[in-house]
Structure formats: C-alpha cells, structure tokens
Structure 1
Amino acid sequence: MSVQSAEVRTATTNPLQPLAPDEVRRTAQILREQRQLDEQVRFVTVSLHEPDKREVLDHDRNGGPVPERAAFVVLYDRGHQRTVEAVVSLTSGDVTSWQVVEDVQPSVMLEEFFSAEEITRADPRWQEAMRKRGVTDFSLAMIDPWAAGYDIDDPAGRRLLRPLTFVRSREDDNGYARPVEGLVVLLDMDRMEVIDVRDHGVVPLPPKAGNYAPELMFDDDNRPAFTTLRDDVKPLEITQRKGRASPSTGTR
C-alpha cells in the first residue's frame, strides 16, 4: 500500500500533540520510499514539525481546520558524511523539504555509543595504557563517549568522538568514581576506528569505589558500612487533585 494513502493521516485533533509511534514509522517509510535511502543513512531524530502559530490559534479558538500534521527529521548519511534536515507531511504523505546542512554534525546516536565502547576496548594502544594502570580485566572499564568538539584542526570534517575511560571495581560498581586520568582517545565514527591514543602519564586510580547503594558500601577495613537499614521512612505521595491541564487551552 502506498504511504500516500489516507492512512497516513493522523487521528489527533491537537496540533501540538507529539508524534505517535505509528506516525514515526510512517515518517521513516515515506522517506525510505521517496528518497531511496540506503543502509548508510541513519535516523538521528524524528519529532513533530510544529505548524504555524496562527493556524494553531485559528483551530483552537475559531474552530478552523486542523493544521497539517508533519514530522521534522534529522538524518546522517554516513556514506557521504553529510547531515540532512527533512520535513515529511503526514497529511499528504510527501517529503516536503530536504536540505543538506553543511559543516555540522548531528547528535551522537545510541548505536555509536555502543560501537565506540567496543572499538576502544579492542585497541591495543588503549589496552597497553590500561595495563600500565594495573587494569587487566577490560570488561570492568566503563567507556563514556563524548563528541570531540571543534577544538581539533580536522579539515576532513570527520565525525569524531573522544571517549573517557573509568574503571569499576566490580560489575555493578559506580564507574564514575574512578576516572582514568591522562588517557585521551580519538575515534572516527564514519570509519569505525581509533585514530589516536595519547597517554599523558599514569595517575593512580582512586582507591575507593563511590557507591551509594547500602549493600555496596564498605568501611576502611572493607567491612559492610551498614548492617541495618531504617524501616521508619514515611511514604512519599504526590497527587494532582484537580487533574492535569488541558493540552489545548491551558485550563483545568
């Protein structure tokens, strides 16, 4: 069935209602069919493309027609290293805007977070730096990828991440309590590889884990810090007696 059929129309009458899951799926389908997207293109964000305020007010106050329902999409084409902003009309089933945005990078995607961890852990230079710090169980390393920013002179305009490394003392430990100082890694996420590892010298890891869960907290002699827990804490209750605000008028 063509995505340009009447089924792409939304059932909501609130022009500012966030996109429903089926509307997100329709948006992706329309783009794949009309722009012939290949496997290198990633959907970064899919959100509501808000209609003009005058149309919203006319619908809300004067009973005017429901404004066009549309989605705003940010895509990243890894094969061509470019960012695209698109608008898809869910009312007509058409891609109404397609714009390549030069010299920008979209936000880091979830799959890139996971890939960055795997790539970093597998790099021999990173592994050697961790061994110098006494860490041999790399599964305890928590790798936190961050965008590299614009302080790097990179005329190629690559998609760069700069992950930070932390070390847990156990699998369910608070990793942020024990940062690995002086170890800087640079990743190219288009090529999925480590392009630079710089070790500025070993700084001893913090000796204590920074856990807040009672069962994971220990004293200086490595004994449980808490043997009993309070059982007299009163329940927290949150109520909204007059109900929620109306999404269209703001009244109760």
Structure 2
Amino acid sequence: MASTQEKATHKNNTPSPSSSSSAQVLQNWSLAAPSEDPIPKAASMAALIRPAETIADPPATKTTTSKGISIMPRAQTSHPLDPLSAAEISVAVATVRAAGATPEVRDSMRFIEVVLVEPDKHVVALADAYFFPPFQPSLLPRTKGGPVIPSKLPPRKARLVVYNKRSNETSIWIVELSEVHAATRGGHHRGKVISSKVVPNVQPPMDAMEYAECEAVVKDFPPFREAMKKRGIEDMDLLMVDPWCAGYHSSADAPSRRLAKPLIFCRTESDCPMENGYARPVEGIHVLVDMQNMVVIEFEDRKLVPLPPADPLRNYTAGET
C-alpha cells in the first residue's frame, strides 16, 4: 500500500528516492502560515478590484461589421421619426414666443399644435443605416469608393400652429431644434425659427382653455340661466357645455370670426365620474359664442323640450329603437 507521501509525489509527478524528498513534497503541499503568505488576501483582492470611476468609457470610433462595413456608433438621442419629446416641445414653444414683436403679441399666443416635421426619406435611410440598430447600410445606394458617413444627422424640426387671440390671426411656424449636448435629462436644445407665415381666413381648432372659458361664459349668461330654470335645472354644476365649431353656411359664419355653437347636456349627479353625461341633452336652445372675445352674441330659447328621465344605471341603459 502506497504511503501518503508516495501519493502526493505521484500526483505531482515528482520522484521520491528518499524520505528527504518525500518530506520536501509534504512541505510544498502544506499551507503556509498567514503571516508568511507573500501576497496577503487583502492585497490580492485590492489588486483585482478597481473603483468604478476609474474605468473610462471607450472612445467613440467607427466599428466594422463581420462583412467589413464601417458603421458609426449611435450618436443621436432621437430617431428622425420619433415624436417630439417634452423638452423639444418646450423649446419650440419658447422659441416662437420669444420671436413675438411685442409683449402683448407674445402673451396672446395660443399654441394649438406642435408636431414633428417629417424629414426627407434619405435622412431616415441614413439613420437606419448607420446610427440606429439594426444597422442596415443596404438602405443607401452604393457609391464608388463607399458611402460618406456623416458624424451626425440633420437637426430635427417642429411645426407649430399658433393662434393669436388679440389679432385673431392664425400662423404656422417652423422651428429647427439644434441639440447642444445630451449629458443630462435627454439633452439640452436650442431652437431657431426657420419660417413663419400668417394664413388668412382660417380658424384653428379650439384648445382646452377655450373650452373651459366658453362653458363659464354660457353658464353665467342670464337668459341661459332662465331657460334652464324653465326645464327644472337650478344647479349649473349639472350642466355640460360642449363648444362645437360653427359651420360655414353663409357670410355670417365667415372664418374671419372665431365662432362656436355649444351643445348642452344635463347630468344627474355632479360628482359622479362614471355617469354617461351625454344621455340627457338639453334641446330647444340656440347659443352662439364669439370665442375670440368670449361673449354670447346670439341666444334663443326656441322650444321647451322635456329632459329625458334619469336612469338608475347612470344613464347607460340601452334605449328602445
């Protein structure tokens, strides 16, 4: 039976002609005392671990695919077809407002629409080919000597529809959004007005603020309140006033005026968000509101029509046809 020394010697492929060599093998296999360890554990671990802040980011250089096609690492924060971010919308609005001629003009601006100006197709193809994965260089036509890859994409643009309440004018603005840097919160942007034009004889859609103002004006109109009392409605909080744009049927409806014809509905509970508020229309009422000056310019109580009865299921029961 082989001794322990012989087993150790056999595993290390070391001959053991004498007991002195076996003792030497045992000494090599034994663990040294912690005080005699040439590399302390703390020092060895410290050599393997580096603070995270000392690891530098790799430089932004071109890389090559398996097919030998050079591509640029992503250098843009937004794809050309991405919707405008909240930061871009804020910058576009601030840029247009700052371009107003006077403080009165700037304060009268209503921003009806702020949308992305879709870029040309070659810009989209360039982005999908070299800036955003999956990289698809085949989207661009082949050229002699290879394609020229720019360092960044053209700036994005925003289109703004602005209504000036003071002058009753509608204008369209194009703002270029230039990215300064993208270090924090998606980047900081600055805008530049590319073009602006006033579009005559048009009215843009009404915004939420105008809806609220119109409802308040109609509810405070004394003839309207009297007409509601005839129908048994005392609480104005039960009423819903929905302004609808007036159709262009005659010169009286000319788009030079900003007009609305509100539709009236009566709820059964003023504090019930689950109720169908459109189940009980208040009919026989004609109201015309000047939305620019926020005044009722026409009112007629044409016919007393009874309100539909209240429904215990919050006005969701299907009616008979």
**TM-score above 0.5:** yes
Aligned to 2:217: 119
Which of 306, 309, 320 is residue 204 of structure 1 equivalent to? 306
1:193 Cα deviation (Å)?
A: 0.5
1:31 aligns with 2:133: no
Other-structure match for 1:130:
228
Structure 1 residues 134, 212: CA separation in 2 closer, same or farther (over 3 Å shift)?
closer
1:184 partner SS: strand
Distance 1:49 1:169 in 2: 45
One-letter amino acid matched to 1:47: V
Q: Percent sequence identity over matched residues?
A: 39
Call closer, same or farther: CA 1:210–1:39 in 2, change over 3 Å: farther
CA gap of 1:196–1:137, structure 2 versus 1, over 3 A, is same
Structure 2 CA distance, aligned partners of 1:138 and 1:189?
21
- Pick one of 41, 45, 52 that aligns with 2:113: 45
Structure 2 equivalent of residue 14 of structure 1: 79
* Deviation larger for 45-54 or 55-64: 55-64
Q: 1:60 matched to which residue of 2?
A: 128
User: How do residues 59-98 of structure 1 correspond to structure 2 at under 5 angstroms?
Assistant: 59-61=127-129, 62=137, 65-91=152-178, 93-98=191-196
* Residue 12 of structure 1, CA deviation: 2.1
Partner of 2:199: 101
| TM-score for the superposition, normalised by structure 1 | 0.75
| Contiguous gaps of at least 5 residues in structure 1 | 1-9, 218-252
Aligned pairs, number: 206
- State the TM-score, normalized to the length of structure 2: 0.60
Between 1 and 2, higher relative CO (CA 8 Å, sep ≥ 6) is seen in: 1
| Counterpart residue number, 1:249 | none
SS of residue in 1 equivalent to 2:278: helix
More helix by share: 2
Q: What whole-Å deviation, never above 9, does each CA across 1:168-208 have from its counterpart, x for those lacking one?
A: 11112422111011111110011110111122201110012
Deviations 1:3-51 (A, max 9, x none): xxxxxxx952410111111111111121122334421111111111111
**Equivalent residue letter for 1:23:** E
Relative to structure 1, the CA distance from residue 109 to residue 13 in structure 2 (aligned partners, 3 Å threshold; closer, same or farther) is closer
Deviates most, 33-42 or 196-205: 33-42
Q: Unpaired runs of 5+ in structure 2?
A: 1-74, 130-136, 138-148, 179-189
Distance change >3 Å, CA 190–CA 211, structure 1 → 2 = farther
Whole-Å separation in 1 of the counterparts to 2:291 and 2:250:
15
> What secondary structure does 2:210 align onto?
helix
Q: 1:178 aligns with which of 280, 283, 295?
A: 280
Note the aligned Cα RMSD (angstroms). Answer: 2.3
Equivalent-residue separation in structure 1 for 2:301 and 2:156 (angstroms): 52
